Amino acid sequence: MPQKKVRYFDVKYHIEKLIKKNGGWVNCHAHIDRAYTVTPENFHLYHSPLSVKWGLVDELKRNSTVNDVYDRMAFAIENMLQQGVTILGTFIDVDEVIRDKAIKAADRVREKYKKNIRIKFINQVLKGVLEPTARKWFDVGAEFVDIIGGLPGKDKGKEDKHLDVLLSTAKKMKKMVHVHVDQLNTASEKETELLVKKTLEHDMQGKVAGIHGISIAAHPKAYREKLYKSMKDAGVMMVSCPTAWIDNRRSEELAPTHNAITPVDEMVPAGVTVALGVDNICDIYVPHIDGDMWTELRLLMAAARFTDIRELVNIATANGRKALGLQ
Ligand SMILES: [Zn+2]
């Protein structure tokens, strides 16, 4: 007997068709130089606090050859190509431990895939940017990359100085800035607010994007609304990587009820440009992220309860191009 055809609105099929029509997926955030480095032996390190993980990857970085880093990057790029990702923005570590090995691998990988995918490299600063040796490697990284990357949490207590170094360097080099901010889902963090303030101080409106912005949702509504307006006015964008922080730890801190995700449902209507990324792929930071763009967009829809299809397509395409300076 022939099967009765079931008709329903296949959201994934519909959205992916629109994404293809809009130029394909844009993955705005990853760390492909460390992708696929989780092993049965180091898997348990996943439970370490974020600030401890910044140092835990030292051994891996020290022991990796340029070829190792290249292989990891190439494998991640093949993953992106299979999904129809046309543009990728990825951080690469540049510091006193990895030295210039990721830079060398990045050069080779960009050349190898230049016909298939556009890649924008961004420097990750796991040693901060203030100590003299850290600063030296920040300068080396800044010279190579397309976009200046930051991690103010690494220079805790001196986040403003950290941002001053990033923004003044970017301004001098005429580059954009991507900064990891507000990652810990707590109202004690106000890094996005500081990023907006510093963006204005350095006259870098429209050239700055935050990555994550999870903690924003832990603040009261009046704070959030004021922050969104200031982000819109300063042209500060936000890249959401939904799976990266949905595993946020349980805590007894009281806050407005929310899921641990960039508050996309509030940011987009407030006029903030939101883009999409996958963040860490199969490493000790997040072993269960496999780099699948649909998985990220679907989780964004669900966890932020955001169902504006036109805006979801923008988040996965045009907004990503804007956040990477390709518009
Ligand atoms: Zn990241």
- Determine the distance separating the centroid of ligand 1 and the alpha carbon of 306, expressed in angstroms: 23
Q: Which residue has tokens 């979801």? A: 312
Mean of all residue pLDDT scores within the chain = 97
Tell me how many degrees the CA angle 204-122-96 measures, rounded to the nearest 5: 115
- Determine the distance separating the centroid of ligand 1 and the alpha carbon of 9, expressed in angstroms: 34
- Determine the distance separating the centroid of ligand 1 and the alpha carbon of 32, expressed in angstroms: 10
**Distance (Å, whole) CA 230 – CA 226:** 6
- Determine the distance separating the centroid of ligand 1 and the alpha carbon of 254, expressed in angstroms: 26
How are strands ordered across the β-sheet holding 85-93?
A: 25-27, 85-93, 118-124, 147-150, 176-181, 208-212, 236-240, 274-276
Dump pLDDT digits (tens) for 39-77.
Answer: 999 999 999 999 999 999 999 999 999 999 999 999 999
- Determine the distance separating the centroid of ligand 1 and the alpha carbon of 3, expressed in angstroms: 47
Q: Is the pLDDT of residue 115 over 90?
A: yes
- Quickly state the pLDDT bin for 2 (edges 50, 70, 90): low
Nearest to 184 by CA among 229, 148, 218, 137: 218
- Quickly state the pLDDT bin for 7 (edges 50, 70, 90): confident
- Quickly state the pLDDT bin for 4 (edges 50, 70, 90): confident
Q: Please, are residues 194 and 152 in contact by the beta-carbon 8 Å criterion?
A: yes
- Determine the distance separating the centroid of ligand 1 and the alpha carbon of 29, expressed in angstroms: 7
Of 7 and 224, the structure prediction assigns the larger pLDDT to 224
- Determine the distance separating the centroid of ligand 1 and the alpha carbon of 52, expressed in angstroms: 15
**Distance (Å, whole) CA 104 – CA 72:** 13
Q: Is the pLDDT of residue 1 over 70?
A: no
Which residue pairs from 198-203 have beta carbons closer than 8 angstroms and sit at least 24 positions apart in sequence?
A: 198/160, 198/163, 198/164, 198/167, 199/167, 199/234, 199/235, 199/236, 200/234, 201/167, 202/164, 202/167, 202/168, 202/171, 203/171
Helix H, strand E, coil C: the string for the chain is CCCCCCCCCCHHHHHHHHHHHCCCEEECCECHHHCCCCCCCCHHHHHCCHHHHHHHCHHHHHHCCHHHHHHHHHHHHHHHHHHCEEEEEEEEECCCCCCCHHHHHHHHHHHHCCCCCEEEEEEECCCCCCCHHHHHHHHHHHHHCCEEEECHHHHCCCHHHHHHHHHHHHHHHCCEEEEEECCCCCCCCCHHHHHHHHHHHCCCCCCEEEEECCHHHHCCHHHHHHHHHHHHHHCEEEEECHHHHHCCCCCCCCCCCCCCCCCHHHHCCCCCCEEECCECCCCCCCCCCCCCHHHHHHHHHHHCCCCCHHHHHHHHCHHHHHHCCCC
Dump pLDDT digits (tens) for 202-223.
Answer: 999 999 999 999 999 999 999 9
Dump pLDDT digits (tens) for 120-174.
Answer: 999 999 999 999 999 999 999 999 999 999 999 999 999 999 999 999 999 999 9
- Determine the distance separating the centroid of ligand 1 and the alpha carbon of 7, expressed in angstroms: 40
- Determine the distance separating the centroid of ligand 1 and the alpha carbon of 289, expressed in angstroms: 12
**Counting Cβ atoms within 10 Å, is residue 228 exposed (0-12), middle (13-18) or buried (19+)?**
buried
Q: Which neighbouring-strand residues pair with 167?
A: none
Dump pLDDT digits (tens) for 304-323.
Answer: 999 999 999 999 999 999 99
- Quickly state the pLDDT bin for 327 (edges 50, 70, 90): confident
Q: Which residue has tokens 């042209």? A: 235
